[in-house]
């Protein structure tokens, strides 16, 4: 199992890194559209659609994103959209998590499907916009989510005592959440030092937040973004548990599905754009 996870991770990096480093937008756009389309297919299956119907949901998301990019709409979105997306995650995420696993199936099937489509569409638009902010900005948002997850995992293993949401994700603890937040703060301090030593690169998320909000505001914003990554993770876990599924799919051997890998990114990217550029 571990070997399978490592092989899949290496292959994913082999595809992702060239797309991230490319000067042109299209490799990153096409790769992320493929990911969002696959995630749309997974979401449809988790919420009752099967066969061609689920495929069409994923294809529609990919096609709409491609049209938005080709038409230039994804480059000229108003900053208010990111604030709206952030508000939807804060209020909607809190409402869904408060209702619990049993509350999710009580929503109409069409509403559940629409929620996923909106989440994935906004997430992809935020990814595309972040690419326009430069490699340093884009990477700093990705690594924030990854660092929060890794620090939470090891912190939870070492210190975890109080369960965060046992009915949704039994492995998560409050100590893990706090460890993830601490990891993000340490990451930001190191990244800001790097930005200052390399003035030629575009600013990272952390440097932009420090300039806009000051040191205290930066700290609050980073804690908020780390918390949002947990909300995204718990939200997908709730949907999977409601569907009786361990993973969103088996597309990524050893890792589950695409949704399992991007769930925490979906709320963080729009919120990062709102805080940095809104």
Confidence of residue 1 (pLDDT cuts 50, 70, 90): low
pLDDT at res. 256: 85
**Mean pLDDT score of the chain, rounded to an integer?**
92
Reading the block at residue 40, the tokens are 């749309």
Per-residue pLDDT averaged across 13-37, rounded? Answer: 89
Residue 35: CB atoms within 10 Å: 24
What's the CA gap between 44 and 197, in Å, rounded?
Answer: 46
**Residue that has been written with the tokens 């990153």 in this structure:** 28
- The partner residues of 163 in beta bridges, in order of sequence, read 173
110-113 own/partner pairs: CB under 8 Å, 24+ apart: 112/47, 112/48, 113/43, 113/44, 113/47, 113/49, 113/57
Q: What are the start-end ranges of the E strands in the chain?
A: 163-165, 169-173
> Cα–Cα distances in Å, from 7 out to 142, 209, 243, 252?
21, 36, 28, 10
Q: How do residues 170-227 score in pLDDT, each as one tens digit?
A: 999 999 999 999 999 999 999 999 999 987 678 999 999 999 999 999 999 999 999 9
Look at residue 17 in the predicted model and tell me its pLDDT: 85
Please give the Cα distance from 66 to 246 (Å, whole number).
31
> Between vectors from CA 19 to CA 17 and to CA 25, what angle results, nearest 5°?
150
Confidence at residue 24, expressed as pLDDT on a 0 to 100 scale: 87
Quote the percentage of the chain above a pLDDT of 70.
Answer: 98
* pLDDT for res 2: 52
Question: What whole-number distance in Å separates Cα of residue 189 and Cα of residue 176?
Answer: 20
Q: What does the pLDDT average to over 8-36? A: 87
Which pLDDT band, with edges at 50, 70 and 90, does 49 fall under?
A: very high
- Rounded Cα distance between 121 and 74, Å, is 11
Please tell me the distance from the alpha carbon of residue 73 to that of residue 29, in angstroms, as a whole number. 13
Taking residues 78-86, report their average pLDDT: 95
Cα–Cα distance, 149 to 17 (Å, whole number) = 20
For the ranges 2-6, 74-78, 139-143, 197-201, the one whose mean pLDDT is highest: 139-143
Q: Regarding predicted confidence, which is higher, 256 or 46?
A: 46
**The total number of residues written for the chain in this structure:** 278
Residue 212's φ and ψ, nearest 5 degrees, are -80, -40
CB 75 within 8 A of CB 66: no
How many Å is the Cα radius of gyration of the chain?
18
Q: What pLDDT was estimated at residue 3? A: 61
5, 222 Cβ separation under 8 angstroms: no
Q: Rounded to whole angstroms, how far apart are CA atoms 253 and 245?
A: 15
Residue 75 has what pLDDT?
Answer: 80
Closest by CA to 117, choosing from 55, 57, 196, 198, is 57
What is the structure's pLDDT at 85? 97
Give the residue with greater pLDDT, 8 vs 241: 241
Q: Which of 12-26, 118-132, 249-263 has the highest mean pLDDT?
A: 118-132
- Number of Cβ atoms within 10 Å of the Cβ of 78: 9
Asked if residue 15 has pLDDT above 90, the reply is: no
The residue behind tokens 């990814």 is 127
């Amino acid at each position: 199992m571990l070997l399978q996870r490592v092989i899949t991770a290496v292959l994913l990096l082999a595809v992702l890194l060239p797309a991230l480093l490319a000067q042109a937008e299209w490799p990153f756009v096409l790769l992320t559209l493929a990911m969002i389309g696959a995630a749309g297919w997974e979401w449809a299956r988790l919420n009752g659609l099967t066969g061609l119907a689920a495929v069409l949901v994923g294809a529609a998301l990919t096609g709409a994103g491609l049209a938005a990019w080709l038409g230039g709409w994804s480059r000229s979105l108003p900053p208010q959209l990111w604030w709206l997306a952030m508000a939807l995650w804060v209020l909607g995420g809190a409402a869904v998590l408060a209702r619990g696993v049993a509350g999710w199936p009580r929503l109409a099937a069409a509403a559940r499907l629409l929620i996923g489509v909106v989440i994935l569409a906004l997430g992809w638009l935020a990814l595309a916009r972040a690419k326009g902010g430069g490699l340093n900005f884009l990477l700093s948002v990705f690594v924030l989510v990854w660092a929060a997850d890794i620090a939470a995992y090891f912190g939870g293993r070492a210190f975890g005592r109080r369960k965060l949401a046992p009915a949704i994700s039994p492995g998560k603890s409050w100590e893990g959440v706090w460890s993830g937040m601490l990891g993000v703060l340490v990451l930001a301090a190191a990244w800001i030092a790097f930005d200052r030593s390399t003035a030629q690169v575009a600013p990272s998320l952390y440097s932009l937040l420090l300039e806009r909000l000051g040191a205290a505001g930066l700290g609050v914003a980073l804690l908020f973004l780390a918390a949002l990554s947990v909300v995204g993770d718990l939200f997908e876990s709730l949907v999977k548990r409601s569907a009786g599924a361990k993973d969103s799919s088996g597309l990524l051997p050893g890792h589950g599905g695409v949704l399992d890998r991007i769930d925490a990114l979906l709320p963080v990217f729009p919120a990062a754009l709102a805080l940095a550029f809104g």
